Structure 1
């Protein structure tokens, strides 16, 4: 599932930079909602164990910091970035800092949001069942009210308050609701592919109602986008979260499991890879050739992700765990949510 989400995100960015006019591909950014819902489900389902925050740091920080450092040094457009922009990206606070989102790293806005969720999740899970439900409903209500509350405050081209963490509470709520349903004994034993098919017209409809491209949405348009993204995430994640584990399917294959391990690094590196894909292929930006650019970007991102996983993610996570835990970590496994 994580691999599908990662390559879906690659597709939406390639579609934009090749000027591919597709309402469906434009809203493949809804795979961010899938990541949010999946992370919420997996982490809340397992409960908060000792060393939770150190494991989150071990999971995210090593590969992220190496990616940021390399991109800052390698991408020509970043030669003139300020030290404030560098610090914001290194500390994963770029969505809160003026002009914090920079070339090759713009996708990291979603990681900022996920880090905020990681920070508050233990507080949520310490509540009783009834209080969790009240807090969850309140968080969703706050998320829907947030775009209206910040409308007209500041310039979204400088700091986009609309994409701060409260707005995406409905996407995380999908995963948290699935945990509650699982605890209540709800199970699904039917086929999963119909739900995946149903998710596609949801994404297409969200792309059609707009606004398209980089036009800043009104609060109503933004909320429609978020709510449809929650529906998309529920359709994709719920059949797998509540279903029985099935062997012999495509998503359970060894290839997909391996790509799932690499998916975090695919997400980290694909925008930088995409920047170099155009000159390497001899294709001008915004000049079409989606299939060619996507194939090259996906393959190159996968190769870079493999290197990142083997040389940075796994040993980096091990070093962090050894530095923060009493018992040195001996396993190569990296925590699932990305």
Structure 2
């Protein structure tokens, strides 16, 4: 049967896990721009896989809800559009961007447009991938249990085949076909499988702390075998990177998604849950914040000082995220929901005239 059951309550610790993922992503970008040279920190981009798995798990566990697409728009678009507009106006390197780059970034299609991943907004590539997942998820949720299992297997196989299929077609410095949505099916599959396991009654009652510790050597192995930095991986290297990212995400997310509901933990604390609420805006703004942190601290890029640059970037990004959440995310989402509700009411009235 398709998934139609009411949405279960959100697990408090997963809010805290969102915060961990957001600041992990900040760490990997700071590590690169300070030239930290850490194999582990270079692969902290695997926290993108954690975000993908979390999104898939939370959206799939409760089934398809009325107004699914309008809810996704309300959640993502207001804060994203404001961030893009401000960054385009504020960052000096973006003074010369062309119209196609601007339009691509506002429409969240920059991974598909030549040279559209631009300073201060390069991290948005992953949001493009997540938006593609949101578009197709309802199709998955309408399938029977057997259909979902087949869809998962096919999507993962397609994801692993994709880098080979597009190898050599385009210059990755112009349009990187390797990072298009099919490649990341294994990362979303982690969350979808966890949702299926939870629905089947699978629970984990053991300690959670060993699993994040096991995730660290996974990131280290991925960083060591490379390629390091921004070197473009060949299809095999890319598949290995994605599969290790899936393992990393599973180790981080699974013990909390399937674990017992434990009150009073660090991740479920009010502070971590608040940071979890702000995590989307932390993700949106941190690259632009990082651009200004270097001159403010008087530190050159690639000259080290990871700890101080990370601390400044994390603190400043948190402050900006708070403002974004309170003044843009929450009221923006409310406006979108109100607008879509009015539109739905008008449509219903027009379909059933008095």
User: Taking structure 1 as the reference length, what is the TM-score of the superposition?
Assistant: 0.96
Post-superposition offset of 1:184: 1.2
Equivalent position to 2:170, from 154, 171, 178: 154
Q: For 1:224 and 1:237, locate their aligned partners in 2 and report how far apart those are by CA, in whole Å.
A: 20
Q: For 2:106 and 2:260, locate their aligned partners in 1 and report how far apart those are by CA, in whole Å.
A: 40
**Partner SS for 1:178:** helix
Equivalent in the alignment of 1:125: 141
RMSD: 0.9
Equivalent in the alignment of 2:156: 140
Equivalent in the alignment of 2:94: 78
Equivalent in the alignment of 1:271: 287
Equivalent in the alignment of 1:336: none
Post-superposition offset of 1:245: 1.7
Equivalent in the alignment of 1:92: 108
Q: 1:111-131 CA deviation, whole Å, 9 max, x = no partner?
A: 000000000000000000001
Q: What 5-or-longer segments of structure 1 have no aligned partner? A: 329-338
Q: For 1:325 and 1:211, locate their aligned partners in 2 and report how far apart those are by CA, in whole Å.
A: 49
Q: For 2:261 and 2:276, locate their aligned partners in 1 and report how far apart those are by CA, in whole Å.
A: 16
Equivalent position to 1:287, from 303, 308, 327: 303
Q: For 1:182 and 1:74, locate their aligned partners in 2 and report how far apart those are by CA, in whole Å.
A: 45
Q: For 2:259 and 2:289, locate their aligned partners in 1 and report how far apart those are by CA, in whole Å.
A: 36
Equivalent in the alignment of 1:227: 243
Moved over 6 A (4+): none
**Partner SS for 1:325:** helix
Q: 1:160-184 CA deviation, whole Å, 9 max, x = no partner?
A: 0000000000000000000111111
Q: For 2:308 and 2:212, locate their aligned partners in 1 and report how far apart those are by CA, in whole Å.
A: 25
Q: For 1:151 and 1:105, locate their aligned partners in 2 and report how far apart those are by CA, in whole Å.
A: 25
Equivalent in the alignment of 2:329: 313
Equivalent in the alignment of 1:331: none
Post-superposition offset of 1:247: 1.3
Equivalent in the alignment of 2:68: 52
Equivalent position to 2:229, from 198, 213, 216: 213
Paired positions, count:
328
Q: 1:228-268 CA deviation, whole Å, 9 max, x = no partner?
A: 00000000000000011211111011110000000000000
Equivalent position to 2:33, from 10, 14, 17: 17
Q: Given the alignment of the two structures, is residue 66 of structure 1 paired with residue 82 of structure 2, yes or no?
A: yes
**Partner SS for 1:46:** coil
Q: For 1:91 and 1:75, locate their aligned partners in 2 and report how far apart those are by CA, in whole Å.
A: 19
Q: For 2:182 and 2:141, locate their aligned partners in 1 and report how far apart those are by CA, in whole Å.
A: 18
Q: Given the alignment of the two structures, is residue 196 of structure 1 paired with residue 212 of structure 2, yes or no?
A: yes
Post-superposition offset of 1:289: 0.0
Equivalent in the alignment of 1:300: 316
Which runs of structure 2 are paired with 1:240-259 in the superposition (5 Å)?
A: 240-259=256-275
Task: Verify the 8 A CA contact 1:36 1:172 in the aligned structure 2.
Answer: yes
Task: Verify the 8 A CA contact 1:51 1:325 in the aligned structure 2.
Answer: no
Task: Verify the 8 A CA contact 1:262 1:306 in the aligned structure 2.
Answer: yes
Task: Verify the 8 A CA contact 1:147 1:162 in the aligned structure 2.
Answer: yes
Equivalent in the alignment of 1:332: none
Post-superposition offset of 1:327: 10
Q: For 2:89 and 2:113, locate their aligned partners in 1 and report how far apart those are by CA, in whole Å.
A: 21
Q: For 2:96 and 2:306, locate their aligned partners in 1 and report how far apart those are by CA, in whole Å.
A: 30
Q: What 5-or-longer segments of structure 2 have no aligned partner? A: 1-16, 345-354
Q: For 2:88 and 2:343, locate their aligned partners in 1 and report how far apart those are by CA, in whole Å.
A: 35
Q: For 1:217 and 1:230, locate their aligned partners in 2 and report how far apart those are by CA, in whole Å.
A: 17
Which runs of structure 2 are paired with 1:316-331 in the superposition (5 Å)?
A: 316-326=332-342
